[in-house]
Structures are given as C-alpha cells and as structure tokens.
C-alpha cells in the first residue's frame, strides 16, 4: 500500500495558487513526452531492423559464397545461405512487430490525453471562477473596511464638534454619520455575501482538486505500468528474435556436422577423374642406333632424365668406319 498520495501533497496555503496542480500537470506532460520518445525509439529501431533484414536477404541471394563447392559442403553452404535469408526475414518481421507496438503506445498516449483533457477543462473553469470570486471578495473587503473608516471618522466628527457647532451643522454631521452607517451596513452585507459565495466555490474547488488528483494519480499508475510492460515486451521480442536466429544457426551447425571430408573428396574424384595412368618417362634414344634399328625398343629399365646415357661400344668390322673415343668424345675415322 502506497503512503504518498497526490491528493495529500499538492496544496498551497495561497487560495489562488495553482502550484500543486501545475506540478502534477507538468509531471503528466513529462510522462506523456517520455511515452512519445519510446514510441519514436521503436519506430527508429523498426527502420534499422527492416534495413538490416533486407541487406541480409540481398547478401544471401546476390553475393557468391562457395558456389563451386560439391557434395556435403555444398549442401551445408546451401543451408547456410537459406538460413541467412531466414534471419533477414525474421528481422523484417521484427520491424513490423515494433511498428505495431509503437502504434499501441501512441493509441494509449492519445487515450490518456483525451481523458485528461476533460478533467483539465473542469479544473480550469473552477480555477477561473474561484480566482474571480476571490478578487470580488477582496474588493468587497476593501470597500467594507473603507466604509468602517468613514463611519469612524463621522462619529469622531460628531463628538469633536458637539459643543462648538451650530444646530444646523450638527444636523449635517449626524446626517453624514447616518449615511456612513448605512453604507457600512451595505458594504458589510456585500462583503459577507462574497465571503459566503467564495467559501462555496472554495469547497467545490477543493473537492474537484481531490478528484483530479486521484484521477491523475490513477492515470500515472496506468502509464508507468503500461510503459514498463511495453519495455518488458520489447526486450522479450528482441530475446525471442535472438532465440529464433540461434535456431536457424543451429540448423547450419547440424548441416556442417553432416559434412564429410572423405565423402567430398571421393565425390570430386569420381566426378572429375581423368585417368589412373601416369605418363611414361622420356628416355634417351641414340640417333645412330635409331637409324640401324628403325623400330625403337623401349628400355625395360627407366633411365633418369637428368643423367647422360652411356655411349654404345664400337663394333667396327673391316672396311667400315672406325669408332674411337678421345677425352669422352666420339670420333669417326674414314
């Protein structure tokens, strides 16, 4: 149970002062402004979420990302791009949700404003009537006090001149005194009537002030509760969006768990293989042996390319050119 109440703490000893009422109204206006600021915040966040979502979708659709991959890794990349697209769609949906929440805040704010306006109009009229009657009462009091002073002066004049004036002058003094008393009585009645009227207005204003305080306090409680719940809901929406995004990312992780290095290697080999035989080594072929043996015979033993093959042993017959070697060079004798 709250101890502090609007109706107990927003008064002033000055009857015509509205300092307490104005303080409440200022606070309510500030609260309404704060709701508007949160409403604008949601709208701006919606713009950001929508832009981000569209950028993600464009990225997943237009930007290449491992487009030449094969088999299981290709499937994982397909899942990856699809889930990025889904994340983008989620942000666009979140943007729409935020706009709806901003609209609800606006409707709540305008509803409170409309209800407040009725009370404010009543209070403005009461304040105006109270202040006007107070002014009349103070004027009646001023006139009443002046008539009292006039009557007192008239009485003093009669007493002062009782033995020094003529009969006719005395009559004039008594007449003036009688007129002063009559004016005093009239001003007294007018003053009392003004005070009575002012008291009725004061009581009415006081009752309406209490009612207004209670109404404004109820509104402020509703506003704080609504604002708090709206903020709580907003945070929950952001958390839910993160959870949903993580679920999408989990699908990517699950797809990557199914990615097999061995399967992808085997798939590539079977899809793009070009043959299982490597080219034979290139061997040295002696020109002269080639001329004598038109049909070349492949050596069964590979000869390293980097080493020079040994020269053939001369087998000259009588009458044929002689072969000889000098310092590693072959010479032909004719």
Q: Is residue 157 part of a domain?
A: no
Give the pLDDT of residue 2: 64
pLDDT band at 323 (very low <50, low <70, confident <90, very high): very low
List, in order, residues 6 or more apart from 196 with CB less than 8 Å away: none
pLDDT band at 294 (very low <50, low <70, confident <90, very high): low
Q: For the chain, what is the domain count? A: 1
142-158 residue pLDDT tens:
999 999 999 999 888 88
What is the number of other CB atoms lying within 10 angstroms of the CB of residue 124? 12
Estimate to the nearest angstrom the gap between the alpha carbon of 1 and the chain centroid.
Answer: 34
pLDDT band at 172 (very low <50, low <70, confident <90, very high): confident
Q: Is residue 195 part of a domain?
A: no
Domain that holds residue 108: 18-137+205-272
pLDDT: which is higher, 306 or 133 = 133
Rounded to whole angstroms, the Cα distance separating 242 from 231 reads 17
257-278 residue pLDDT tens:
999 999 999 998 999 999 889 8
Q: Is residue 216 part of a domain?
A: yes
Give the pLDDT of residue 321: 46
214-233 residue pLDDT tens:
999 999 999 999 999 999 99
The whole-number average pLDDT for the span 289-300 is 60
Give the pLDDT of residue 289: 84
> What average pLDDT does the structure give for the chain?
87
Q: Which of 119, 101, 120 is nearest to 227 (CA)?
A: 101
Q: Which of 222, 241, 229 is nearest to 97 (CA)?
A: 241
Q: Which helix (H) or strand (E) holds 332?
A: strand 329-333
- Of all residues in the chain, the percent with pLDDT exceeding 70 is 85
Q: Which of 213, 200, 195 is nearest to 18 (CA)?
A: 213
Give the pLDDT of residue 332: 43
Q: Is the pLDDT of residue 238 over 50?
A: yes
Q: Which residues pair with 330 in a beta bridge?
A: 325
In the chain, helix, strand, coil percent, each to 5?
Answer: 75, 5, 25
Q: Is residue 47 part of a domain?
A: yes
Q: Is the pLDDT of residue 123 over 80?
A: yes
pLDDT: which is higher, 154 or 296 = 154
Q: Which of 86-100, 105-119, 240-254, 292-306 has the lowest mean pLDDT?
A: 292-306
Give the pLDDT of residue 82: 93
Q: Is the pLDDT of residue 125 over 90?
A: yes
Q: Is the pLDDT of residue 14 over 90?
A: yes
Q: What pTM value is reported for the model? A: 0.73
The whole-number average pLDDT for the span 168-172 is 80
Q: Is residue 293 part of a domain?
A: no
The tokens describing 98, both together, are 């935020």
Q: Is residue 102 part of a domain?
A: yes
Rounded to whole angstroms, the Cα distance separating 119 from 122 reads 5
Q: Is the pLDDT of residue 324 over 60?
A: no
pLDDT band at 325 (very low <50, low <70, confident <90, very high): very low
Q: What is the CATH number of the domain that holds 65?
A: 1.20.1270.60
Q: Is residue 8 part of a domain?
A: no
Q: Is residue 305 part of a domain?
A: no
Farthest CA pair distance, the chain: 202
List, in order, residues 6 or more apart from 216 with CB less than 8 Å away: 6, 24, 25, 28, 116, 119
17-74 residue pLDDT tens:
999 999 999 999 999 999 999 999 999 999 999 999 999 999 999 888 888 888 999 9
């Amino acid at each position: 149970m709250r101890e502090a109440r609007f109706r107990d703490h927003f008064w002033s000893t000055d009857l015509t002062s509205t300092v307490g009422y104005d303080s409440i109204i200022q606070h309510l206006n500030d609260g309404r402004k704060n709701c508007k600021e949160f409403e604008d915040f949601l709208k701006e966040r919606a713009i950001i979420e929508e832009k981000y979502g569209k950028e993600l979708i464009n990225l997943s659709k237009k930007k290449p990302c491992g487009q030449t991959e094969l088999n299981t890794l290709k499937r994982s990349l397909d899942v990856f791009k699809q889930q990025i697209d889904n994340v983008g769609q989620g942000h666009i949906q979140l943007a729409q949700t935020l706009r709806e929440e901003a609209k609800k805040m606006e409707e709540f704010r305008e509803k409170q404003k409309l209800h407040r306006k009725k009370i404010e109009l009543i209070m403005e009229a009461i304040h105006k009537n109270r202040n006007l009657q107070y002014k009349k009462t103070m004027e009646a009091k001023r006139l009443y006090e002046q008539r009292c002073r006039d009557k007192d002066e008239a009485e003093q004049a009669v007493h002062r001149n009782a033995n020094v004036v003529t009969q006719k002058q005395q009559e004039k003094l008594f007449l003036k005194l009688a007129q002063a008393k009559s004016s005093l009585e009239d001003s007294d009645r007018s003053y009392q009537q003004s005070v009575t009227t002012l008291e009725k207005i004061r009581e009415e204003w006081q009752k309406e002030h209490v009612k207004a305080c209670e109404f404004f306090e109820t509104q402020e409680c509703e506003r704080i509760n609504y604002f708090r719940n709206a903020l709580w809901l907003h945070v929950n929406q952001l958390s839910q969006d993160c959870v949903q995004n993580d679920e999408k990312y989990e699908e990517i992780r699950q797809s990557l768990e199914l990615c097999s290095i061995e399967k992808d290697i085997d798939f590539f080999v079977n899809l793009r293989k070009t043959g299982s035989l490597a080219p034979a080594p290139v061997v040295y072929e002696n020109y002269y042996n080639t001329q004598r043996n038109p049909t070349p015979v492949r050596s069964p033993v590979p000869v390293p390319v980097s080493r020079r093959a040994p020269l053939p042993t001369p087998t000259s017959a009588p009458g044929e050119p002689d072969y000889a070697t000098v310092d590693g060079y072959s010479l032909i004798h004719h």
